[in-house]
């Protein structure tokens, strides 16, 4: 049986298309149709294939379809609309804000936030009404842990949809709201040079450890100006490189061999390299010991040779540090 749409549709859409309530019941019993929430349907195959964030956004779209015009997606729902990383943020409820300053309304599948919303803090993404990128980040930073918030903020900065000035303005606009101290702390740690959730989490962890602040995503060249590799974290004064290994970073034998060659060349220049993964982020003391050992090894070696910088450059553009 044909359906009115290939993704989300309402009971009214189905009736207009020519289906009856009995047809909808038969499709549900046959496993061809899933109920997103009462009166809203999606094909079961789409529901099964959708990622958690995609399922959340289907639910968010269903609420937009029945919401007054002054309500917009906010918090994690807006972050998903923007395409930001939402690591570990709860996805069980859609978040919306209506701009009226009174108590939030909580329902099993939705939270409607009663928070002042300036017209300049509203926008659209792909036609969907949402809070601006900066407002979205600060709302999350007020209501979530620092590490989760920084992952969102780094992603937002990296995307180019916001910048540090806009975030600072959003923090100032929220200065009397609950959680603003946590938001100030999180925003102060956000940096668009981190290129993954793992790098963002690592940076937040480094802030809690007695480690110097590393340079982020530096391009390292040898003494002849040849590009050797781009590294996640560079403790350049101590001669140590830090590399976070994500689960899919080396997803083929060719990539793995290329990475081994790159690492060998970095070591030939005199760098000591520390690598860690998701599991090791949960054991800060062990990771700190590994860095301390690396710093000690590097101290016994000559300073690394070559150059580094924020981008790949020609040899005559590079400052020497060795």
Q: Check whether residue 64 and residue 163 sit in a common domain.
A: yes
The rounded mean pLDDT for the chain is: 93
Q: How confident is the model over 199-217, as pLDDT tens digits?
A: 999 999 999 999 999 999 9
pLDDT of residue 102: 75
Q: How confident is the model over 21-43, as pLDDT tens digits?
A: 999 999 999 999 999 999 999 99
Q: How far apart are CA 222 and CA 308, in angstroms?
A: 9
Judge whether 322 lies within some domain: no
Beta carbons of 287 and 275 less than 8 angstroms apart = no
309: left (phi over 0), alpha (psi -120 to 50) or beta: beta
Judge whether 124 lies within some domain: yes
Q: Check whether residue 178 and residue 309 sit in a common domain.
A: no
Q: How far apart are CA 156 and CA 191, in angstroms?
A: 9
Judge whether 3 lies within some domain: no
Beta carbons of 276 and 290 less than 8 angstroms apart = yes
For 26, other C-beta atoms within 10 Å of its C-beta total: 14
Q: Check whether residue 56 and residue 42 sit in a common domain.
A: no
Q: Parallel, antiparallel, or unpaired for β 110-116 and 94-99?
A: parallel
Question: Which one, of 87, 96, 195, lies nearest residue 146 by Cα?
Answer: 87
Angle at 25 between CA 22 and CA 28, to 5 degrees: 150
Q: Check whether residue 31 and residue 127 sit in a common domain.
A: no
Is residue 57 very low, low, confident or very high in pLDDT (cuts 50, 70, 90)?
A: very high
Stretch 35-61: mean pLDDT:
97
The CATH number of the domain holding residue 273 is 3.40.960
Q: Calculate the dihedral angle through the C-alpha atoms of 300, 303, 304, 305, rounding to the nearest 10 degrees.
A: -140
Judge whether 116 lies within some domain: yes
Q: Check whether residue 229 and residue 253 sit in a common domain.
A: yes
Stretch 82-111: mean pLDDT:
93
pLDDT of residue 53: 99
pTM of the model: 0.91
Q: How far apart are CA 43 and CA 225, in angstroms?
A: 56
Give yes or no for residue 319 having a pLDDT over 80. no
Q: Check whether residue 187 and residue 133 sit in a common domain.
A: yes
Give yes or no for residue 313 having a pLDDT over 80. no
Count of domains observed in the chain = 3
Query: Which range is least confidently modeled, 34-48, 99-113, 126-140?
Result: 99-113
Domain stops at, among 150, 168, 192: 192
Give yes or no for residue 2 having a pLDDT over 90. no
Q: Check whether residue 100 and residue 118 sit in a common domain.
A: yes
H/E stretch holding 129 reads: strand 128-131
H/E stretch holding 98 reads: strand 94-99
Give yes or no for residue 110 having a pLDDT over 60. yes
Phi, then psi, of 88 in degrees rounded to 5: 65, 5
Q: Check whether residue 181 and residue 204 sit in a common domain.
A: no
Q: How far apart are CA 116 and CA 136, in angstroms?
A: 13
pLDDT of residue 120: 97
Is residue 81 very low, low, confident or very high in pLDDT (cuts 50, 70, 90)?
A: very high
pLDDT of residue 103: 73
For the chain, what percent of residues have pLDDT higher than 70? 94
Q: How confident is the model over 238-290, as pLDDT tens digits?
A: 999 999 998 655 556 777 777 888 999 999 999 999 999 999 999 999 999 99
Judge whether 2 lies within some domain: no
Q: Check whether residue 239 and residue 309 sit in a common domain.
A: yes
DSSP 49-88: HS-HHHHHHHHHHHHHHHS-TT-EE-HHHHHHHHT---TT
Judge whether 129 lies within some domain: yes
Judge whether 176 lies within some domain: yes
Judge whether 1 lies within some domain: no
Q: Check whether residue 180 and residue 283 sit in a common domain.
A: no
Q: Output the CA torsion sign for 307, 311, 315, 319.
A: negative
Domain stops at, among 192, 226, 248: 192
- Residue range of the domain that includes 73: 52-192
Beta carbons of 149 and 186 less than 8 angstroms apart = yes
Give yes or no for residue 320 having a pLDDT over 80. no
Q: How confident is the model over 220-236, as pLDDT tens digits?
A: 999 888 999 999 999 99
Domain stops at, among 147, 163, 192: 192
Q: Check whether residue 121 and residue 159 sit in a common domain.
A: yes
Q: Check whether residue 165 and residue 185 sit in a common domain.
A: yes
Angle at 128 between CA 122 and CA 131, to 5 degrees: 25
């Amino acid at each position: 049986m044909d359906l009115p749409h290939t993704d989300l549709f309402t009971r009214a859409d189905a009736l207009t298309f020519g289906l009856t309530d009995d047809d909808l019941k038969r499709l549900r019993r046959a496993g061809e149709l899933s109920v997103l929430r009462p009166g809203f349907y999606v094909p079961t195959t789409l529901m099964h294939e959708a990622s958690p964030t995609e399922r959340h956004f289907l639910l968010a779209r269903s609420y937009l379809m029945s919401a007054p015009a002054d309500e917009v997606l906010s918090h994690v729902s807006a972050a998903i609309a923007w395409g930001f990383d939402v690591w570990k943020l709860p996805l069980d409820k859609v978040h919306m804000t209506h701009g009226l300053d009174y108590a939030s309304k909580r329902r099993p599948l939705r939270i409607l936030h009663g928070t002042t919303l300036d017209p300049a803090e509203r926008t659209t993404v792909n036609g969907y009404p949402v809070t601006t990128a900066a407002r979205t980040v600060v709302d999350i930073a007020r209501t979530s842990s620092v590490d989760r918030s920084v992952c969102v903020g780094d992603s937002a900065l990296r995307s180019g949809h916001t910048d540090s000035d806009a975030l600072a303005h959003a923090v100032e606009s929220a200065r009397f709201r609950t959680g603003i101290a946590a938001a100030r702390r999180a925003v102060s740690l956000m940096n668009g040079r981190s290129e993954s959730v793992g790098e963002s989490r690592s940076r937040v962890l480094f802030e809690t450890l007695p480690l110097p602040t590393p340079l982020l995503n530096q391009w390292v060249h040898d003494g002849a100006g040849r590009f050797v590799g781009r590294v996640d974290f560079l403790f350049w004064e101590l001669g140590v490189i830090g590399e976070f290994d994500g689960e899919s970073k080396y997803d083929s034998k060719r990539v793995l061999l290329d990475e081994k060659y790159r690492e060998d060349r970095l070591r030939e220049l005199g760098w000591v390299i520390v690598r860690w993964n998701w599991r090791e982020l949960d054991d800060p003391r062990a990771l700190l010991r590994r860095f301390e050992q690396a710093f000690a090894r590097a101290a016994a070696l000559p300073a690394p040779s070559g150059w580094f910088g924020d981008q790949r450059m020609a040899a005559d553009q590079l400052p020497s540090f060795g």
